[in-house]
Structures are given as C-alpha cells and as structure tokens.
A and B are shown apart, each in its own frame.
Chain A
Amino acid sequence: MRRAYFKNNWIAALMVAPQLLIIFVFFYWPTSQAIYWAFTLEQPWGGGNEWVGFENFRQLLTDSQYWDSVRVSVIYAIATTALAMGMALILALFADRQLTGYKFYRVGLIWPYAVAAPAVGLSFRFIFNPSAGLFSYINHLFPGLWDPIMNGSHALFMVIVAGAWKQIAYSFIFFLAALQSIPRSLTEACAMDGSGVLRRMWDLQLPLMAPTFFFLLVINITDSFTDSFGIVDTLTVGGPARATNLMVYKIYEDGFRGLDYSGAAAQSIILMLLVIALTFFQFRFVERRIHYS
C-alpha cells in the first residue's frame, strides 16, 4: 500500500479535523451526555441534577419489564440475523451461479438496503395486516391464525421478518462479492476432484467465505440491536403488551414518552456496553479460528 507522509503535521490535522468534528458532535458529545444522565437524577421540580451513582442501573436491573425487553431483543437479534444471513447466502449462491435473470434480481436484491426502516415498516404493515390482503383470506379460513395486533408472538414474528428483509440486501452484497472473489480455478479443481455443485458449496465456498460470514455476523447482530427502532415504531409501537418492546425502542419510550431521561440514558449505556462486548467477544474468539495460513 502506498502511504502519504506529511512533513507538516498541521496539514494532516486539518485534513482529519472535519471527520473528528463529526465524530465528536454526533458520538462523543451525546455519549458523554448519556453518561452524565445515567449517573444523575433530575430534581422532581427542576433545579439541577443530583448525583446518584449506580442507582439508575440498580433500578433497571431489578425491573422485570427491562429484562423482558432484553429477552425480546436477544430473540429478535438472533432470529433476524439468522434469517437475513441465511436468505442472503442462498440468494448469493444462486446469483453466483448466474442462473437466468440473475442480473435483474441482483439489482432487485440490493434495493431494499436503500429503503428507510420506517418505509419498510409501513409496507410490512400492509402486507401483514390481518384484516386486509392475503392474511385476511387466511384468517377467514382459519380464524385467529394470524393476529399480530393481539398476539405477542405473531407481532414479534412480524417485526423479525421485516427487520430481516431490510438486512438481507447488505449481507447479500458481501456474500456475493466473497463468492466471486473465490478463484475460478479452485472451483474447477474441485469439480475435477469429483464434487458436485452442493458439495462444492459445502466444502469450498462456505469455508472460504468464513471471514465474510464472521464480519456480517458482527454487523447484523449489532444492527439488529441498534437499528430496529423504525420498524418497531411503524409496525407495532412495541406492543402488544410490550411483546416487541426492543431495547432501543424502550429507550425511546422511557426517555421521550415517559420523560425518564436518567433511566433511558442508563439503558443506552447498557446497550452500548452490550454491543461493545459482543463485538469484542466475536473478534477475540470467533475470528481467530477462521483465518488461513
């Protein structure tokens, strides 16, 4: 790789300054605010914040509603990640084999990534509407089979499908790129060695894609913890009975609806730590096993 060296450090500083400014304004400053709130409590009738130490966290961790939210978030994260990556992988394997029409659906598959989460939520609200479209017929035949408005599991399922649908595109692009970067001669050697299409996927393509797989795993899990707000807000508003009250959504609810800034801030800190821990864990223990030579 070529590197540019700067004799004059001021020029270098000037060039990174915009980026640093953005990171500071949109990340470090809000984070420091959140930390401040998380360890303080606003006086009931105004008049400044009072230092309370870990009291906000203690309250959260003894709150069964909070643990419900954690549980739902974990289910959501695992399910969307598995669904999105599984589907993306299958589609990428097809696209890589260049079956007829792949040029069209390759583009078609990338589009959803450009769609904003609330838009995704809205469209799925129509698709999954129990009293309109396809599902109204099904409900007519089997009453009560599909009822995301009353049934918590149905609602969670709906949010998972919508979330996964949005994430497929991203994983698809990476999987396809990984597949196409496998040298053709390797696939050919594998074919000469007698292995058919499926066997080649299993023995050659999947192992060689492991680094990509790992990368996407981290990104998808992180995304599903932090980027699900729009979908929940448009589809279920966290209900019914908090069945889809994901951690991000609960932060928003407690903070902006319940005006409990301190509780919400403490939740953000926990979520942040969780994501950091997950990423760290994955880099430390998973990635190590899948690099070659």
Chain B
Amino acid sequence: MADINIRKVAKAYGKTQVVHGIDLDILDREFIVILGPSGCGKSTLLRMIAGLEAISSGEIAIDGKVVNDIEPRARGCAMVFQNYALYPHMTVAQNIGYALKVAGISRAERDQRIATVAATLDISDYLDRKPGQLSGGQRQRVAMGRAMIREPKVFLFDEPLSNLDAKLRVQMRLEIRRLHQRLNATSVFVTHDQVEAMTLADRLVVMNAGHVEQVGSAEELYERPASKYVGGFIGSPHMNFLKGQIADDGCSVVLEAGPTLPINPRIGRAAPGAAVDIGIRPEHARRTGEGANLTVRYDFLEELGNGRLFHGRVGDSDFIVQSADKTPPAFGEEIGLRIDPFHIHLFDGETGVRLQEIASVAPARTRALEPA
C-alpha cells in the first residue's frame, strides 16, 4: 500500500545541521527500524516523515507522492509517541476514537471500531478510564490503539517501548511485530536498543550523527558491518577492535600490540602498510592451548548464565572473549586465542569504512533497494 522514498533529506535547526542528506527507500509493508545512539537524528527523521518537522532540503515521497508540503493529517501516517501523548481529559475510548470523530464518522461505527481495536489490544476493560488511571503498559496499548484505528498506510513509532519494564518491553515487542504482520501497513520504528531493533526489523537503518551508516537485515549488519561504527554498535557484547597495519605480503595484519594475524586473502583493497582497525567479535575468539595466534592478558570474568565473558587486554586495548569455558584463568594470566581469518573484520584506519572482500556475493540489500 505505501512505500516511502527519502531523497537527500536534510534538516538544520538554524546553523546546526542535524540530519545530513539521507537517502533511504522503504518498501511497502516493510518493518524498518532506525537504530542509532541518542541525538543522532532518528526522531528528527521520523518526524519529517510524519510531517511534524519541516524538511530543510530534499524530498520525502509516500506512496509515490511527494509529501514535503502536505500536512501531517493528509499523509496517511499514524504515530506512536515515546511518552504516548494520550489526551488526559478523554477516556480511553475517546482517545482511541478521536481520529474517527474528527473524520466525521458516525457514532455507531466509531463505537464498533473502538470495540474491535480494544479487543485486539486486550484493553476492552479500561475503555471508560482516563489515561491517568492506567499503568504504563496499558497506556502503551491505548496509544497503539489510537494509531491503529485509522488503518493508516504507515505506522511511525518513536521509541514507544522505552518507558516499559524489561519484561513488558519484550512482550510488547512481539505484539507490535504480530500486529504489523496483520495490518498490512509499512512500519518505521525508531529505537536505540539494538536487541529491540534486531528482533523487530525486516531491515535496519543504522544512523550516526545525522548520517545513515548502513541499511540491511540484522544478519547482514552482524556479519558484514559496513563500518567500524556499525561493527561496534551491532552485536552484544560489542566487537573488539585492535589497531594494526597490513603486512608487506598483503595477507596478514601486524597489530600494534605485536602479534601478526592472517587475514582473509580475498580482501582486495588492503594495500601493504595501510593502517587498519581489525574487529573481532567476542564469540569468534576461541580459547585454545596450542596454535594460538593472539594472547589476551586476563582481568576478570563476567558471568552471563548462558555463557561467560573473559575481560582482558591486548596491548592497550580492551578485549572480551565469550566462552562456555568453566575454568577461569588466574588474574594477569595470558590466555591463548585462535582467530579464524574469516572472522576478522577489516576497517580502514582513517575512515572506518569496511575493506570489502573482492569476490563477495552481491549483498541482498542492494537487490532489495531496487524499485519494485
């Protein structure tokens, strides 16, 4: 029903540029999650789609129609706000049905649609209460109901789960995903929680300081982060980074900390002598007795229940190893690690951009980006 095309969209407040020329194509019925740290411009982008914030330059089209100068109410979007923004003087039923009332829909039909939505969201018992008499989770549902009832083409969510406790957040996450499946609308969801992002998204958009760093499925982002930033942002515990230089043979990296690690020979642009950052995920560093190609000076242990994290240092950098290993080393002991060349991510030392494998398979996202 609605795809969203964002072309070179930028936003400046006075002289401060907050969003820098973003290009993004969101497909019909896709669940897109915009992920990024606080202050990176996620909300601003979402609000520009909604029409609550003027677009400084560039163009946003919904369903093929440029909406830059169209009022929020005519864009066919519904939004769920972080603080829910329920009308405090109206009952739950009035809150949910308000959009229909404004649209001039008859009382009987309104009541019937409110009842349906309330049943879907399991809030039928609270219809006569005011928002002030509801718990956070119930308010969240009312806010969802208010967005759903209009049957919008596009759902916009601005960190709607961040005020809920951990358990409820997980539950609502699943419900949102389930609703998305049922409602046939396009969803754009903003969050700074990567776990939330990865469970919800068809595709993720990782933003940093007003730029889009990478767009792709959770798997793509995890396996082939396009930049050091994405590598460090996606995945928990986060990726370990070590500085080094490409060796003269072009097939290994000499780390600042000393050791030399073999790298994936297919990495092309790696000119000998070039400064690089290598990224190794904690779960890809295997503890081993012999054949170790990297050693970590052990500091302390973090028990996770389903695994454990060995924190240590390689040279001056922190390094985490995830392992099921039950035997903790002694403090200061050197742990031997074996790093598989195919698990080493290489990033340009200056720009942080990923050094791509030459013969890489065309990533799925480029295909998805072509207009349908």
Interface residues, chain A, CB within 8 Å of chain B?
Answer: 183, 185-186, 188-196, 199, 203-204, 207-208, 210, 292-293
Contacts and interface: CB of A to CB of B under 8 A. Distances in A.
B87 A188 contact: no
A193 B102 contact: yes
A186 B85 contact: yes
Contacts of B150: 193-194
A188 B85 CA distance: 9
Nearest to B79: A192
B102 A199 contact: yes
Contacts of B86: 189
Interface string B80-94: 011101111100000
B50 interface: yes
Contact of B52 (A188, A193, A196, A210): A188
Contact of A293 (B71, B72, B78, B130): B130
28 contacts: A186-B85, A188-B52, A188-B79, A189-B79, A189-B146, A190-B98, A191-B52, A191-B72, A191-B73, A192-B72, A192-B78, A193-B98, A193-B99, A193-B102, A193-B146, A194-B99, A194-B103, A194-B150, A195-B98, A195-B102, A199-B102, A203-B87, A203-B98, A208-B89, A292-B88, A293-B88, A293-B131, A293-B132
B85 A189 contact: yes
Contacts of A199: 102
B81 to A, nearest CB: 5
Interface of B: 50, 52, 71-73, 77-79, 81-83, 85-89, 98-99, 102-103, 130-133, 146, 150
A195 B52 CA distance: 13
A188 B87 CA distance: 11
B89 A183 contact: no
Nearest to B78: A192
A208 B88 contact: yes
Nearest to A187: B85
A292 B130 contact: yes
A193 B81 contact: no
A193 B96 CA distance: 10
Contacts of A194: 73, 99, 102-103, 150
Given A192-B50, A293-B88, A293-B132, 7 more contacts: A183-B83, A188-B81, A190-B87, A192-B78, A193-B102, A194-B99, A292-B130
A183 to B, nearest CB: 7
A192 B102 CA distance: 11
